[in-house]
Amino acid sequence: MRRAVEAARAVGRTLPNPPVGCVVLDAEGREIAVGVHRGAGTPHAEVDALQLAGDRARGATAVVTLEPCNHTGRTGPCTQALIAAGVTRVVFGTTDPAEGAGGAKVLLEAGLDVEGGVLADETDELVRFWSHRHLHGRPFVTWKYAATLDGLSAAPDGTSKWITSQTARRDVQAFRAECDAIMAGTYSVLADDPRLTVRDAADLPLPYDRQPLRVVVGESKIPAYYRVFDRVAPTRQIHSRDPHEVLAELQAEGIHHVWLEGGPRLAGAFWGEGLIDRVIGYMAPAMLGSGRAALEGEATTLADIRPIEITDLRMVGPDIRIVGTPGRMPREDMDTPIEEPDSEGTN
């Protein structure tokens, strides 16, 4: 299964489809073929592996990161391909949450030996952006920001380029390449004239050939000559101040993963509604002392703090990169007593 996960990761972004890997093994457990899914309209991983295996697939075991689909779309159901190939055992990691669900049941009814949930933590992580849309009814949202050690993203005069190092800015591109939409508020677009694209694609660790949709949120008019409207990538302006409405529109367009940056006000709106699923912060070894905070919100007391579970912490050049998952909203913990400090002062 780990071999299948590694093969799927090596493909790069497959959205709006999930990354999937499949390894076909003979009766002695030896590898016959490895297949992957490369994006919409291409063979699914199981079919890719079966085509490579040929007649050797009869009596074999197929190890797949995602439950084989039982759905006919641009391609036929993988369940029928596995049955027709004569595979006798199927092992999968993550249960399909989308329209292709039910494949395991079909395989069992056809007499195959089926086992699910193998290395589920790793296979769930592999499809986290794709599955989130189907499980929660909205795109996954990553909020990225850059700030000084005192939490400021812009000086009092509004200047913000560049707080972090070139090494950190290059590191951002690999994360941007995971998404299928890059979002910023009109205030930030008017102030910084950003491109909102993935840059230096040739230097990315994985293959990359499609720019994300650029999304500008807000009612202010953006001049047509701004770089966000160039021909490098498609652009959509959403005239709404409601984060739920914004994500609903993107959900309807088939967007799975939104990269949110460029605006503490917009980020604060999403944060306040509990609509940020991952935070990536780059902290520069510097202080401003005054300026604009990385996040605007309505918190008035420490009881309003929303915790973040740190999942990765490392140096990127001279800067610190922090990756984390937001915890529960404060209102969800209203019954939890607030611990009082043991002594005077700030904890």
Task: Please report the sign of the dihedral spanned by the C-alpha atoms of residue 320, residue 321, residue 327, residue 329.
Answer: positive
78 is in an annotated binding site: yes
22 is in an annotated binding site: no
261 is in an annotated binding site: yes
124 is in an annotated binding site: no
74 is in an annotated binding site: no
Separate counts of helices (H) and strands (E) for the chain:
10, 15
Q: Cβ contacts of residue 283 below 8 Å, gap of 6+?
A: 146, 147, 148, 149, 164, 319, 320, 321, 322
269 is in an annotated binding site: yes
199 is in an annotated binding site: yes
Q: Which of 46, 178, 249, 309 is catalytic?
A: 46
**46 is an active site residue:** yes
| CA gap 199, 166 in Å, rounded | 13
263 is in an annotated binding site: yes
192 is in an annotated binding site: yes
Q: Is 231 exposed, middle or buried (0-12, 13-18, 19+ CB in 10 A)?
A: exposed
Place of tokens 């912060």: 281
Q: How far is CA 5 from CA 37, 99, 132, 214, 309, in A?
A: 12, 22, 18, 30, 25
Residue 11 neighbours by CB distance under 10 Å: 18
179 is in an annotated binding site: no
Write out the binding residues for NADP(+): 146, 162, 192, 199, 263-269
Write out the binding residues: 44, 69, 78, 146, 160, 162, 176, 192, 196, 199, 261, 263-269
Residues known to be catalytic:
46
Write out the binding residues for Zn(2+): 44, 69, 78
Write out the binding residues for substrate: 160, 176, 196, 261
